[in-house]
A and B are shown apart, each in its own frame.
Chain A
Amino acid sequence: DTAVSQTPKYLVTQMGNDKSIKCEQNLGHDTMYWYKQDSKKFLKIMFSYNNKELIINETVPNRFSPKSPDKAHLNLHINSLELGDSAVYFCASIPPSGPQYFGPGTRLLVL
């Protein structure tokens, strides 16, 4: 069983569209993250969701909105996509002991 899954794995879309990336973890963790990895491989934290508290990185545009329907899911919705949003987006789940379990990533390409 996949511990952390993301769908879709690849997403190609036009500028201005709205898209969502789904993340699900079956590990029972309370904490989940969204990361953006740019072309230089820098990992930037976007959001963390811990015990029903959403912590937003202030540098993330408000076009990005995380949604957590339940503890096992933390989805990422992006409005009005821009070229600069092209990247790989990773979801991760974290147990109390700390190491992150990453999803396989979603490669987003905005044309």
Chain B
Amino acid sequence: AQTVTQSQPEMSVQEAETVTLSCTYDTSESNYYLFWYKQPPSRQMILVIRQEAYKQQNATENRFSVNFQKAAKSFSLKISDSQLGDTAMYFCAFMKLTSGTYKYIFGTGTRLKVLA
């Protein structure tokens, strides 16, 4: 069975600094997708970044980038130039498509606080 582990329940970072959130997963699949979602206090779930497992190049979206290590089954999120608006819960998620059915698994989340 697939699992997703976020080992850091809480983190904090100074504004303008860089922070890395860790995520590891366990799967025997070779083709899958990985996502990071952000949930600010407004509680809206927002997609931050996605990575297809078949792509070796790490995904980037402005200040957000990932370090995808397929062999190590690691998918960390780096936030550069942290801003106060980055304060949120961050969820790592794994998805695979099997026989036309999606299977989504979320990690337990990391609460990130950006300090002024």
Find the B residue at minimum CB distance from A96: B97
**Residue from A98, A99, A104, A105 with most neighbouring chain B CB atoms (10 Å):** A98
Q: How many angstroms between the C-alpha atoms of A68 and B97 in the bound complex? A: 22
Q: How many contacts A-B (CB < 8 Å)? A: 55
Chain B CB within 8 A of A64 CB: no
Q: How many angstroms between the C-alpha atoms of A61 and B50 in the bound complex? A: 32
Chain B CB within 8 A of A55 CB: yes
- A98 contact set on B, CB distance < 8 A: 33, 35, 50, 95, 97, 102
Q: How many angstroms between the C-alpha atoms of A16 and B109 in the bound complex? A: 32
Chain A CB within 8 A of B108 CB: yes
**Contact partner, B43, options A31, A53, A88, A94, Cβ 8 Å:** A88
- A45 contact set on B, CB distance < 8 A: 104
Main secondary structure of the interface of B (DSSP, over half): strand
Tally of B interface residues using CB under 8 Å: 23
Q: Please list 16 pairs of residues, one from A and one from B, whose beta carbons are closer than 8 Å in the complex, sorted by A's number.
A: A40-B108, A41-B109, A41-B111, A43-B91, A45-B104, A53-B101, A88-B43, A92-B45, A94-B104, A98-B102, A99-B47, A100-B35, A100-B37, A101-B47, A105-B45, A107-B43
Which residues of B line the A interface, CB within 8 A? 33, 35, 37, 39, 43-47, 50, 89, 91, 93, 95, 97, 100-102, 104, 106, 108-109, 111
Give 5 new A-B contacts, CB below 8 A, not counting A41-B39, A55-B101, A102-B46.
Answer: A42-B109, A98-B50, A102-B37, A102-B44, A105-B43
